[in-house]
Amino acid sequence: MNRQQLLCDSRSLMKSLVILISGRGSNMKALLDAKLPTENITVISNNPKAAGLAVAEERGVQTLVVNHRNYSDRVSFDTALAEKIDGYQPDLIVLAGFMRILSDRFVNRYQNRLINIHPSLLPSFPGLKTHASALHEGVKIHGCTVHFVTPKVDYGPIILQAAVPILPDDTEQILAARVLQQEHYVYPQAVRWFLEGRLKNIENRVEICETTTRNTVLYSPGLPE
């Protein structure tokens, strides 16, 4: 298959997935519970203490640790990680709370088959502390983004976004929980589209083949009828 342009022609094939985590793994759990059309899923963590590892193992999913602390620099860690990943011949590599910045070489190796979820409506609020930043800036609508990964961090062709309102009494924690709920909804959907061969990435714009779009508008604050 031409990796540059994923065509809508491979939906009957069972696929292999590698999920990379660093921590609690709630997005990974949402993916594992989504009954995706895969024949093989492997979870890899850079952190041996990641709580998500036990969650995966409880579900009978194979896990592996590639501890970044055992490598002297980013490139040698990325090389070791890529070797492990390639052993599984994954169709898609899913970053699910993977807290290491990946080298350009690693990202380019998996061009168009490496995706991430970020807790903001990109391109607003890349980086960390996205919920605090959204509250600080006083935006009315916040959310999350699933995107293909490119060398520029928290950037790359957007597959799917979910928007939530920011409410008057929101704290960082309350807002994070509202966004996370949507992350668990959109990430499995985006991965399913990929595995079904429905994503077409044309010059930085991702089209989704054969989906129905509902005409909805989100106002925040809500408008009177």
Q: Which amino acid is at 42?
A: T
Q: Could you tell me the smallest distance in angstroms from the CB atom of residue 30 to ligand GRF?
A: 8
Query: What single string gives the DSSP state of each residue in 91-125?
Result: SEEEESS--SPPPHHHHHHTTTSEEEEESS-TTSS
Residue closer to ligand GRF (CB basis): 23 or 37: 23
Catalytic site includes residue 142: no
Q: Could you tell me the smallest distance in angstroms from the CB atom of residue 22 to ligand GRF?
A: 7
Cβ–Cβ under 8 Å, residues 147 and 115: yes
Residue closer to ligand GRF (CB basis): 8 or 132: 132
Tokens 């994503």 belong to residue: 199
Residue closer to ligand GRF (CB basis): 99 or 209: 99
Q: Could you tell me the smallest distance in angstroms from the CB atom of residue 94 to ligand GRF?
A: 10
Q: Could you tell me the smallest distance in angstroms from the CB atom of residue 176 to ligand GRF?
A: 7
Euclidean distance between CA atoms 184 and 189, whole angstroms: 9
The secondary structure of residue 59, as a DSSP letter, is T
Report the C-alpha dihedral over residues 98, 209, 207, 8, rounded to 10 degrees. Answer: 70
Euclidean distance between CA atoms 95 and 18, whole angstroms: 9
**Tokens representing residue 97 in the block:** 């709370």
Q: Which residue's Cβ has the minimum distance to ligand GRF?
A: 97
Residue closer to ligand GRF (CB basis): 21 or 195: 21
Cβ–Cβ under 8 Å, residues 27 and 187: yes
| Interaction site with ligand GRF (CB under 6 A) | 21, 23-27, 96-97, 117-119, 144, 180, 183
Q: Which residue in the list 68, 118, 147, 184 is annotated as catalytic?
A: 118
Catalytic site positions: 118
